[in-house]
Amino acid sequence: MANRLPLTDLPRTLIEAGYSAPRYRSLYTAATDARIPADKDAGGRWTFCADDLPAIADAMSLTPAHAA
C-alpha cells in the first residue's frame, strides 16, 4: 500500500504540487462524500495518497496556481 498522509496535509500538498487549493473543510466534505480518493486509517483518521493528487485536483476542479 502506498504511503498515506493525513487529510490535514492535503491543502499544503496541493499548493506544493502547483494547484490552487480549496479550504480544508471542502476537502474534508469531499472525502466524506466519496468525491475524492481518501480512506480512514485504523485510528479513524482520514488519509490520502500523494499519487492521487491529479485525481483529487480534477474532482475538486482545481487549476494550476500559476494560471491564476
Does the structure show a pLDDT above 80 at 67? no
pLDDT digits (tens, 9 = 90+) for 4-24: 999 999 999 999 999 998 899
Give the residue carrying C-alpha cell 487549493. 21
Percent pLDDT > 70 in the chain is: 94
* Domain residue ranges of the chain, discontinuous segments joined by +: 4-67
Percent pLDDT > 90 in the chain is: 82
Q: Region 48-53: what's the mean pLDDT? A: 96
* The pLDDT of residue 68: 45
Q: Residue 4 and residue 40: Cα distance in Å, rounded?
A: 10
Which whole-number Å values give the CA distances from 7 to 15, 26, 68, in the listed order?
A: 14, 11, 25
pTM: 0.87
